C-alpha cells in the first residue's frame, strides 16, 4: 500500500463550484453564524416569559 | 392498532424494501456496493448521514426524555455545526483524496498496519454490538405496541433491512435513507401539529408553553461550569463538539456515507447540510415530547406507559396497584384543575400562582415512581424504563386512524435507516480492512461482490442474534457501550495526530491510542465526570502522549 506523506493531503483539488455562497470561507462563515443564531433563538425560546 | 394502520405500516415496509432493491440495481463492483460508485449528490448523502444518526430509539427515547426531563438534552447537538466545519477543513479532504474505502485504511497509509487494524477492530467490536442494540431497543417497544413477540419484531425489522442492503449496498442505503428521512420529517411535523391541535379550546400554544416552562421542561441552557452535571451548555459545546468530531470523522458508518459523494465538494456539502438542519430537527423532536407532556395535562394518561407491564403488575399485585392508581388519579385530577386555573389566570391578566400546579405535578410523578418501584421489586431490582413507551402510546391512543400507522412507520423508518448504514459499514470494514488486506487480494469483481454481500448477511444475522439475546445480556451490553465511549475520543486523537501533527510517528499513534483509552477508563472509573467529557479526555491524551512518544523515540517509525 502506498504511504501518504505525513500531515498533508495528497495532490489534486476539487473544482466543483460552491453553490449559493461561492467560496468555502463564506459557506463556513454562514454555517457558524447560523449555528450561533439558532442557539440564540433557542436561548430566547427557553427563557421567554410565556 | 387498527386495520388501516396495519395497511399503512406493512405497505410502507414493503414499499421501502422494493424501492431499496430497485435503486440498488446495477451494482457490479465493490466500489458500487460500498461507495455507491462515488456518484452521489450532496443532498442525498446529507439526508443519509442524518438518517444513519437517527435510530428509532433516538426518536422514541428523545421525545420520552423531553416528556420526563425537558429539553436540556438538546445541548448535546450544539457542537455539531462547528464539528462539521472542522471536518470539512481537515479530515474530509484527506479521506476523499486518498480514495479510501474506510477511515482506518487511511491510517495505514499515514502510520502503519497495526494502527489501522486496531482502530478497525475497535469499530467492528463496538458497532457490531451496538447494531444489535439498534435493533433490540425499538423491537422491545414495538412488540408491546403491536402485540408481536420480540423475536418476530426483530426478524421483521432486521430481515427487511438486510434484504435491500444485501442486494444494493450503499446505493440502496442512501436512496432509502432519502425516503425515510422525508417520512421522518413529515412524521415530526405531523406530531407537532396534532399535539397542538388536540389541546383544549381554552388552552393555546402560549398557555401550553407556559405550563411546560413552569414544570421546568423548557430549560435548555445551563451555564454551569460543572464537569459532572449532565447536559450543561459547556458540556454540549465542548464535549458535544468532540463527540461529533469522533462520530462523523472517525466512525465508518458516517465516513462511508460522505465518501460516496461524487466530488469533494459534494461530500463537504453533505456534512454542512447536516450542520444547518440537525439542531432544528432535534429541537422539533424534543418539542414534540414537551407538547405530549402538556397534552396529558388535559387528557387521562396511564399509570405506566408500558401497558403489558402494567397489566402484569395488576394481575400479580392488584391491591398495591389499586392504592397507587388511586393516588395517581387524584394527582392527575388535581393537576388538570391547577393547569386550567393557571391558564384562566393568564387569560384574565391575573398573576398566575403556580404552587398548586407544581405540587400536583410532583405528586403525579411520585405516584408513577411508586408504580415503577413496584415493577422493579417484582423483577428483583432490575431497573424499569418506561420512558420509551410514552411517545408510541400517545401516537396509538390519539392520532387518527392511518396516521398512527404512519407514525409507527416513522419509528420503523428510523430503525431501518440506522441499521442499514451500520450493516453496510460493518461489511465494508470487514471486507476492506481484513478480507482484502489479509486474505484474498485479487478476486474478480463478482467474487468480491459476493463476499461483500455475504458479509452484509453475516452482520445482519449477528445483529438479529445480539438483539434476540439482548434482554439476557443487558448488563453486558451496557459495559460494551461504556467501553465504546472509552475509545471514541481516543480514535479521534489518532486521526488528529495524522492530520495536525506532520511529525507524529506510527509508534506515537499506536501507543498514544492505548494510553488514551486507558486514561479515559481511569477517568470514567475514578471520577464522576459526565460522559460527554470522555471524548475530550481521550482525544487530548492520545494527541499529547503521541507527540511525547514521537519525541522520545524518533526516526525509524516516521514514514516519509
User: What whole-number distance in Å separates Cα of residue B102 and Cα of residue B95?
Assistant: 8
Ramachandran assignment for B411, one of left (phi > 0), alpha (psi -120 to 50 degrees), beta (any other)? alpha
Determine the 3-state secondary structure of B40 from DSSP. Answer: strand
Question: In terms of C-beta density within 10 A (0-12 exposed, 13-18 middle, 19 or more buried), how is residue B312 classed?
Answer: middle
φ, ψ for residue B470, nearest 5 deg: -60, -35
Pairwise CB contact (< 8 Å): B93 & A9? yes
Percent of chain B residues topping a pLDDT of 90: 54
Whole-number pLDDT of residue B401 = 83
User: What whole-number distance in Å separates Cα of residue B313 and Cα of residue B304?
Assistant: 10
Tell me which chain B residues have a C-beta less than 8 angstroms from the C-beta of A16.
Answer: 263-266
User: What whole-number distance in Å separates Cα of residue B47 and Cα of residue B351?
Assistant: 46
Whole-number pLDDT of residue B208 = 92
Nearest to B177 by CA among B7, B295, B19: B19
Summarize the confidence of residues B368-378 as an average pLDDT.
90
Which of B4-13, B123-132, B469-478, B504-513 is predicted most confidently?
A: B504-513
* Cα dihedral A5/A7/A13/A17 (nearest 10): 170
Tell me which chain B residues have a C-beta less than 8 angstroms from the C-beta of A39.
Answer: 78, 279
CA distance A37 to chain B (A): 11
ipTM value: 0.86
CA distance A43 to chain B (A): 6
Whole-number pLDDT of residue B259 = 92
For the stretch B508-556, pLDDT in tens is 999 999 999 999 999 988 999 988 899 999 999 999 999 999 999 876 6
Looking at the DSSP assignment, which residues form a beta bridge with residue B40? B261
pLDDT at B451 over 70: yes
B196 touches chain A (CB under 8 A): no
B440 confidence band (pLDDT: 50, 70, 90): low
In order of B165, B270, B412, B419, the CA distances from B422 in angstroms are: 10, 18, 15, 5
pLDDT at A5 over 70: no
- Residue in chain B nearest A10 by alpha carbon: B97
In order of B13, B178, B255, B273, B409, the CA distances from B48 in angstroms are: 18, 6, 11, 11, 18
B192 confidence band (pLDDT: 50, 70, 90): confident
User: What whole-number distance in Å separates Cα of residue B208 and Cα of residue B291?
Assistant: 7
- Residue in chain A nearest B220 by alpha carbon: A46
In order of B53, B279, B410, the CA distances from B284 in angstroms are: 16, 9, 15
Helical ranges in B205-302 per DSSP H: 205-214, 233-234, 240-250, 252-258, 264-295
* pTM (two decimals): 0.90
Q: Residue B493 corresponds to which cell in the numbers above?
A: 486523537
In order of B19, B36, B444, B450, the CA distances from B30 in angstroms are: 21, 9, 10, 9
Pairwise CB contact (< 8 Å): B71 & A6? no
Tell me which chain B residues have a C-beta less than 8 angstroms from the C-beta of A14.
Answer: 96, 263-265
Summarize the confidence of residues B450-459 as an average pLDDT.
94
More reliable by pLDDT, B209 or B386: B209
Write the residue in A5, A9, A10 that is nearest to B560 by C-beta.
A5
Summarize the confidence of residues B110-119 as an average pLDDT.
93
Tell me which chain A residues have a C-beta less than 8 angstroms from the C-beta of B276.
Answer: 31, 34
pLDDT at B5 over 50: yes
For the stretch B63-112, pLDDT in tens is 888 999 899 999 989 999 999 999 999 999 988 888 899 999 999 999 99
User: What whole-number distance in Å separates Cα of residue B457 and Cα of residue B423?
Assistant: 9
Pairwise CB contact (< 8 Å): B283 & A42? yes
pLDDT at B123 over 70: yes
B203 confidence band (pLDDT: 50, 70, 90): confident
φ, ψ for residue B249, nearest 5 deg: -95, -25
B269 touches chain A (CB under 8 A): yes
B272 touches chain A (CB under 8 A): yes
CA distance A8 to chain B (A): 7
Q: How is residue A1 annotated by DSSP?
A: -
Looking at the DSSP assignment, which residues form a beta bridge with residue A18? A22
Instruction: With beta carbons less than 8 A apart as the criterion, state whether B96 and B177 touch.
Output: no
Write the residue in B81, B94, B269 that is nearest to A9 by C-beta.
B94
* Count of other CB atoms within 10 angstroms of residue B438: 10
For the stretch B466-507, pLDDT in tens is 888 876 665 555 555 566 677 889 999 999 999 999 989 999
Q: How is residue B259 annotated by DSSP?
A: T
Q: Where do the DSSP E strands lie in B43-130?
A: none
Q: Residue B28 corresponds to which cell in the numbers above?
A: 457490479
Write the residue in A6, A19, A27 that is nearest to B502 by C-beta.
A6
Whole-number pLDDT of residue B303 = 93
In order of A28, B327, B331, B364, the CA distances from B322 in angstroms are: 59, 9, 14, 15
Contact residues, chain A to chain B, C-beta under 8 Å: 1-12, 14, 16-19, 24, 27-28, 31-32, 34-35, 38-39, 42-43, 45-47, 50
The helix or strand, by DSSP H or E, that contains position B468, with its residue range, turns out to be: helix B445-469
Tell me which chain A residues have a C-beta less than 8 angstroms from the C-beta of B503.
Answer: 6-7
CA distance A25 to chain B (A): 10
Question: In terms of C-beta density within 10 A (0-12 exposed, 13-18 middle, 19 or more buried), how is residue B365 classed?
Answer: middle
Give counts: helices (H), strands (E), chain B: 24, 0
Chain B window 89-108: which residues touch A at a Cβ cutoff of 8 Å?
89, 93-94, 96-98, 106, 108
Tell me which chain B residues have a C-beta less than 8 angstroms from the C-beta of A17.
Answer: 265
DSSP class per residue in A18-29: BTTTBSHHHHHH
Pairwise CB contact (< 8 Å): A43 & B221? yes
Whole-number pLDDT of residue A11 = 47
Instruction: With beta carbons less than 8 A apart as the criterion, state whether B153 and B412 touch.
Output: no
Q: Residue B225 corresponds to which cell in the numbers above?
A: 461550569
pLDDT at B2 over 90: no
Instruction: With beta carbons less than 8 A apart as the criterion, state whether B542 and B512 touch.
Output: yes
Determine the 3-state secondary structure of B198 from DSSP. Answer: coil
* Mean pLDDT over each residue of chain B, to the nearest integer: 89
Determine the 3-state secondary structure of B261 from DSSP. Answer: strand
**Which range is least confidently modeled, B17-31, B381-395, B427-441?**
B381-395
A1 confidence band (pLDDT: 50, 70, 90): very low
More reliable by pLDDT, B138 or B475: B138
Amino acid at each position: 500500500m502506498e504511504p501518504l506523506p505525513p500531515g498533508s493531503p495528497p495532490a489534486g483539488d476539487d473544482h466543483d463550484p460552491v453553490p449559493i455562497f461561492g467560496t468555502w470561507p463564506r459557506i463556513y462563515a454562514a454555517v457558524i453564524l447560523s449555528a450561533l443564531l439558532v442557539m440564540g433563538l433557542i436561548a430566547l425560546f427557553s427563557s421567554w416569559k410565556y | 392498532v387498527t386495520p388501516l394502520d396495519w395497511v399503512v405500516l406493512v405497505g410502507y415496509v414493503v414499499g421501502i424494501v422494493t424501492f431499496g432493491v430497485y435503486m440498488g440495481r446495477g451494482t457490479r463492483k465493490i466500489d458500487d456496493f460500498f461507495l455507491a460508485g462515488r456518484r452521489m449528490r450532496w443532498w442525498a448523502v446529507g439526508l443519509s448521514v442524518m438518517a444513519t444518526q437517527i435510530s428509532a430509539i433516538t426518536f422514541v427515547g428523545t421525545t420520552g426524555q423531553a416528556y420526563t426531563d425537558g429539553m436540556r438534552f438538546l445541548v448535546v447537538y450544539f457542537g455539531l455545526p462547528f464539528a462539521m466545519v472542522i471536518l470539512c477543513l481537515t479530515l474530509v479532504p484527506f479521506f476523499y483524496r486518498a480514495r479510501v474505502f474506510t477511515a482506518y485504511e487511511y491510517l495505514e497509509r499515514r502510520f502503519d498496519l497495526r494502527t489501522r487494524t486496531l482502530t478497525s477492530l475497535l469499530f467492528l467490536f463496538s458497532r457490531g454490538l451496538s447494531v444489535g442494540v439498534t435493533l433490540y431497543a425499538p423491537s422491545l417497544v414495538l412488540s408491546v405496541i403491536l402485540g408481536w413477540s420480540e423475536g418476530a419484531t426483530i426478524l421483521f425489522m432486521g430481515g427487511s433491512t438486510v434484504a435491500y442492503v444485501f442486494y444494493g449496498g450503499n446505493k440502496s442505503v442512501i436512496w432509502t435513507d432519502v425516503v425515510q428521512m422525508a417520512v421522518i420529517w413529515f412524521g415530526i411535523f405531523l406530531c407537532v401539529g396534532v399535539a397542538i391541535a388536540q389541546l383544549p379550546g381554552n388552552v393555546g400554544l402560549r398557555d401550553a408553553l407556559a405550563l411546560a416552562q413552569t414544570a421546568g421542561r423548557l430549560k435548555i441552557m445551563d451555564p454551569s461550569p460543572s464537569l459532572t452535571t449532565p447536559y450543561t451548555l459547556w458540556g454540549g459545546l465542548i464535549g458535544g463538539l468532540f463527540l461529533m468530531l469522533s462520530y462523523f470523522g472517525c466512525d465508518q458508518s458516517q465516513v462511508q456515507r460522505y465518501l460516496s459523494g461524487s466530488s469533494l465538494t459534494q461530500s463537504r456539502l453533505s456534512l454542512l447540510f447536516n450542520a444547518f438542519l440537525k439542531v432544528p430537527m432535534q429541537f422539533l423532536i424534543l418539542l414534540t415530547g414537551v407538547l405530549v407532556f402538556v397534552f396529558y395535562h388535559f387528557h387521562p394518561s396511564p399509570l405506566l406507559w408500558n401497558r403489558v407491564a402494567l397489566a402484569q403488575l395488576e394481575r400479580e399485585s392488584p391491591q398495591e396497584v389499586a392504592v397507587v392508581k388511586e393516588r395517581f388519579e387524584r394527582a392527575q385530577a388535581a393537576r388538570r384543575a391547577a393547569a386550567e386555573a393557571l391558564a384562566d389566570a393568564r387569560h384574565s391578566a391575573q398573576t398566575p400562582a403556580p404552587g398548586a400546579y407544581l405540587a400536583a405535578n410532583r405528586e403525579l410523578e411520585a405516584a408513577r415512581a411508586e408504580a415503577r418501584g413496584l415493577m422493579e421489586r417484582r423483577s428483583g431490582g432490575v431497573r424499569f424504563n418506561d420512558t420509551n413507551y410514552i411517545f408510541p402510546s400517545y401516537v396509538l391512543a390519539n392520532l387518527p386512524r392511518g396516521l398512527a400507522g404512519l407514525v409507527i412507520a416513522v419509528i420503523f423508518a428510523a430503525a431501518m435507516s440506522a441499521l442499514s448504514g451500520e450493516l453496510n459499514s460493518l461489511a465494508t470494514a470487514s471486507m476492506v480492512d481484513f478480507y482484502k488486506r489479509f486474505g484474498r487480494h485479487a478476486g474478480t469483481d463478482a467474487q468480491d461482490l459476493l463476499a461483500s454481500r455475504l458479509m452484509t448477511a453475516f452482520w445482519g444475522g449477528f445483529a438479529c442474534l445480539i438483539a434476540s439475546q439482548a434482554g439476557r445480556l443487558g448488563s453486558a451490553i451496557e459495559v460494551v457501550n461504556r467501553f465504546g465511549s472509552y475509545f471514541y475520543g481516543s480514535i479521534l486523537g489518532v486521526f488528529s495526530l495524522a492530520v495536525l501533527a506532520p511529525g507524529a510517528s506510527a509508534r506515537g499513534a499506536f501507543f498514544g491510542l492505548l494510553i488514551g483509552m486507558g486514561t479515559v477508563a481511569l477517568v470514567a472509573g475514578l471520577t464522576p465526570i459526565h460522559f460527554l467529557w470522555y471524548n475530550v479526555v481521550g482525544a487530548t491524551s492520545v494527541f499529547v502522549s503521541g507527540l511525547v512518544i514521537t519525541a522520545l523515540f524518533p526516526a525509524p517509525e516516521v514514514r516519509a
